């Protein structure tokens, strides 16, 4: 006579797809990045904000998409986002102050 374990098999009820295994924070970051990108294009922040601020705000959807699509930690994604914001926002500010570091 077979035992219960033999009748059920090796795959118990806990083996299989678990909703808790889904990386919801990554999916949310990706969806947020897409939504932020669409809003950025739709709103056109250059009408309401100084140019360097509007350019720097473009790094937010980039950072969200980066975090959502890669396996990097949120700290690394934040560093990339801040680096992109500073890298894109600083040259216009320095240019407006007549500080040119490149010929």
Out of 10-14, 58-62, 84-88, 92-96, least confident range: 10-14
Whole-angstrom Cα distance, residue 89 to residue 59? 10
Confirm whether 11 is domain-assigned: no
Residue 65 lies in a domain: yes
**Any domain includes 84:** yes
Q: Is residue 80 a contact partner of residue 66, using CB atoms and an 8 Å limit? A: yes
Q: Please indicate, yes or no, if residue 44 is contained in any of the structural domains.
A: yes
Q: Tally the domains of the chain.
A: 1
In this prediction the pTM is: 0.75
Asked whether the predicted pLDDT for residue 55 surpasses 70, the reply is: yes
In whole angstroms, how far apart are CA 95 and each of 3, 47, 68? 79, 20, 34
Q: For 2-36, write each residue's pLDDT tens digit.
A: 777 777 766 555 667 777 778 999 999 999 999 99
- Structural domain boundaries, residue 59: 24-90
**Residue 19 counted as domain residue:** no
**Domain annotation covers residue 12:** no
Q: E strands within 1-103?
A: none
> Average pLDDT over the chain, rounded to whole?
87
């Amino acid at each position: 006579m077979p035992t219960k374990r033999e009748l059920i098999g090796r795959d118990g009820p806990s083996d299989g797809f678990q909703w808790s295994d889904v990386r919801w924070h990554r999916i949310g970051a990706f969806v947020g990045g897409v939504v932020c990108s669409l809003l950025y294009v739709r709103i056109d922040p250059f009408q309401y904000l100084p140019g360097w601020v509007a350019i720097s705000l473009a790094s937010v959807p980039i950072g969200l998409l980066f975090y959502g699509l890669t396996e990097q930690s949120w700290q690394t994604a934040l560093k990339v986002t801040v680096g992109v914001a500073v890298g894109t926002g600083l040259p216009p500010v320095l240019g407006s102050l007549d500080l040119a570091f490149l010929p």
